[in-house]
Chain A
Amino acid sequence: MRLKTRVAVAAVAVGTLLASAACTTSDNSGSTPKNVEVFTWWADGGEKAGLDGLVDQFKKDCSQYTFVNGAVAGGAGSNAKTVLAQRLTQSDPPDTFQAHAGAELTDYINAGQIEDLSQEYKDWGLTNAFPSGLISNLTVNGKIYSVPANIHRANVLWGNKTVLASAGITQNATTLDGFFADLDKLKAKNVTPLALGKDWTQLMLFESVLIADLGADKFTGLWNGSTPWNGADVTKAIGDFSKLLTYTNKDTRDTYDWTDAEKLIMTNKAGYQLMGDWEAADLDAKAFKDYNYTVFPGNTGTYQWLADSFVLPKGAKNAEGTKCWLKTVGSAAGQQAFNTKKGSIPARTDAVASAFPAYQQSAIGDWKSLKQVPSCAHGSACSQSMQGAFNTAMGKFSSDGNATALQSALATAASQFIKK
């Protein structure tokens, strides 16, 4: 008798649990056709402020749709990219997602995961609003797959005015040789001449040296297969880069992220740092005003760009809503709202410069007039796999200084990953 009661109670309990579980799973808040789920890694700081500005504009332009924030924080995007990869494999894409414009999209394009937006570019007049250099960098096999929300510049050299003045540097150098002379002056003053971080920041520095030694056209050729990586000019660039490394914080550069290197500048312990122009927004946010900026020596006349952009995934639940979002992202008002808060500049050439802080105003002027070159470290020139191989090669070079091994590793990676 007792056993039967116990069994009966157990059965009822298990049954209730199962029923309640089944009920809760069916209460799925799936995206209704009015929601637009925007998947980014802009979860805090200036990036979130920029996203909020864009969302305000979206509410005005596309009031029939509701913005759903799908941001995933952490790891400078690596967490978000992992989640995104899983969702795409399961054919459950968000309505739109953030990706670096340019070559980094090739994996998505090859897997057939994003839609061609060439027609939308014509409809919305974006082919005229964006500079031609950008359009050609964005075009893959005659098609364009993303709408850039902003433009960041990668080859900017930031300096601590006080440290530079005390070392007797009155003008920033415009050639590599002049730069080496300035770095010697800083070394004599016992500060770190050039603050540097780990692998991808070293790749950025190496790219700037490549632009200086090869020139803009040959540099762009490195990424589409027309310039060979085992050439003599690349060997010279590696030699110059090796010399630059002797002026960096050798003990700590492999442990530093870009913000740690930035801290050396802010605490007057370093003279220069090469970093993208998001450094301006960060320095301003940390209330450090004693900085100046110039394009990296030898890079005069080039604008090394990278862009955050949005795409239309295949199988998105609310394609019309996504297109409305993309239109806002590409519109003058949307780009203005986004970029004034994020610290980058609009990709459009019709931006109103006066609404922006000082650095951005000079950048907007440069964007219209200078030659656009892509950046591997930030995805406009390289796919993710190629970036991984390059970062490993840079990390290896930082620890063993073997120039021939570096050049052959880069050449092998290029031949493996660049599909002509």
Chain B
Amino acid sequence: MPRRLRQWGPGLLLLSPSLIVLAVFVYGLIGWTVNLSLQDKHNALPSEGFVGLDNYTNLFTNDISDRFTHSLRNLAVFTVVFIVGTLVMGVLWAVLLERGARAEGLFRTIYLFPMAVSFVASGVVWRWLMNSGTGDNAGGLNVIFSGLHLGFLENRWWTDPNWGMAAMALPAIWQLSGYIMALFLAGFRGIPHELREAAVMDGASTFQLYRQVLFPQLTPVALSALIILGHMSMKMFDLIMSVSGPQYLTEVPSVYIWQMLLTNDQAKAAAIAVFLLLVVAVVIVPYLVYVNRAEKRS
């Protein structure tokens, strides 16, 4: 007995502060939030009783102006455009750089630099760039387009009722593409050189080299990039607040939570938060299981 204790005892002791903090501040508070979302507490007074899943069903069926379903749609558009845009730009830059560009270090730094900027700062600048005025009232990018005789490119950016969130994803793409580029660059560097040589010797064209040999090797990198981008987009709050402020057009669940807390509608905010957690968990938990199994196998 004592010998086994000596084996895993010190390890447990070392981990115990982190375990306790995690248990209280992450899982304990998640439990508290779930409990709050099951209560009838929509103002600063104490809860008026347990109402089960009513808060959740009300979000979908009973929400004034269908606010929650609208915010989910905004989130979906934003997530898809953000993920596709960042992956395309990031992979493109990684491929260009790993083919051996001159001053690669300089380009890497330039592409990676936007990630160091805070979303609030870049949001304020992109708000100005994406000014929605057209024609005589144009500002920002619209006035640049008209100056370059590209007037047909002028558009309403994020104020467009249907695809405005795609424009909202532009600052996020600009900031995170460098990160994806760095991920894929590291991935490319991790592929053994012999694989490339063998493929070239077997007569593979460059396109075939990338498609059949290199990209399949990068599936784990792509998967982790997808997961990171996905959960980042679910949590996106400060970018949207600094570009548009809180308003119906660009509302996403995280902004909706903030608005509900401002008016003390705590149970509703908790319900949206738990729903958001479940959406993220649906994506991340299978990934964690997959990674765990992959590690066990290797």
Binding site for B on A (CB under 8 A): 78, 81-82, 85, 88-89, 107-108, 110-113, 198-199, 249, 251-252, 254-255, 269, 383-385, 388-389, 391-393, 395-396, 399-400, 405, 409, 412-413, 416
Contacts and interface: CB of A to CB of B under 8 A. Distances in A.
Contact of B133 (A111, A251, A395, A400): A251
Contacts of B224: none
B137 interface: yes
Interface stretch (B8-16, B91-99, B190-198, B259-267): B259-267
Contacts of B244: 255
Nearest to A416: B64
13 contacts: A107-B44, A107-B263, A108-B44, A111-B43, A251-B134, A251-B137, A254-B249, A255-B132, A388-B262, A391-B248, A395-B249, A399-B249, A412-B64
Nearest to A399: B161
The 6 closest A-B CB pairs, nearest first, are A395-B248, A111-B44, A399-B161, A385-B263, A409-B65, A384-B263
Nearest to A384: B263
Contacts of B156: 251
B65 A107 contact: no
Contact of B44 (A88, A251, A412): A88
Contacts of A254: 132, 159, 247, 249
Given A385-B263, A395-B248, A396-B248, A409 B45 contact: no
Contact of A396 (B42, B65, B137): B65
B231 interface: no
Nearest to A81: B262
Contacts of A385: 42, 263-265
B171 to A, nearest CB: 15
A199 B247 contact: yes
Given A110-B45, A385-B263, A389-B64, 17 more contacts: A85-B44, A89-B44, A107-B264, A111-B44, A198-B245, A199-B248, A249-B137, A251-B132, A252-B131, A384-B262, A384-B263, A385-B264, A385-B265, A388-B259, A392-B64, A399-B248, A416-B64
Contact of A392 (B132, B248, B264): B248
A388 B249 contact: no
B270 to A, nearest CB: 15
Interface of B: 42-45, 64-65, 67, 70, 131-134, 137, 156, 159, 161, 244-245, 247-249, 251, 259, 262-265
B249 A252 contact: no
Contacts, number: 85
A416 B263 CA distance: 14
Contact of B67 (A85, A108, A392, A399): A392
Nearest to A249: B137
Contacts of A392: 64-65, 67, 248, 251
Given A251-B134, A251-B156, A252-B137, A78 B262 contact: yes
Contacts of A110: 43-45
Contacts of A85: 44, 262, 264
- Interface hub of B45, B64, B70, B251 (most chain A Cβ within 10 A): B64
B159 A413 contact: no
Q: Is the interface of A mostly helix, strand, loop or mixed?
A: helix
A402 to B, nearest CB: 10
Nearest to A386: B263
A217 B249 CA distance: 33
Contacts of A81: 262
Contact of B132 (A82, A252, A395, A405): A252
A111 B64 contact: no
Most chain B CB within a 10 A radius of its CB, from A85, A113, A198, A392: A392
Nearest to A88: B44
A255 B264 contact: no
A199 B263 CA distance: 17
A340 B265 CA distance: 38
Contacts of B265: 385
B64 A413 contact: yes
A82 B246 CA distance: 15
B10 to A, nearest CB: 17
B65 A255 contact: no
Contacts of A399: 159, 161, 248-249
Contacts of A82: 262
Contacts of A78: 262
B44 A198 contact: no
B247 A198 contact: yes
B264 to A, nearest CB: 7
Q: Which of B43, B244, B245, B248 has the most CB of A within 10 A?
A: B248
A269 B244 CA distance: 23
Contacts of B44: 85, 88-89, 107-108, 110-111, 113
Nearest to B138: A251
Contacts of A413: 64
Nearest to B42: A385
A172 B64 CA distance: 37
A251 B245 CA distance: 17
B264 A251 contact: no
A395 B43 CA distance: 24
A393 B65 contact: yes
A171 B226 CA distance: 62
A85 B262 CA distance: 8
Contacts of A255: 131-132, 159, 244
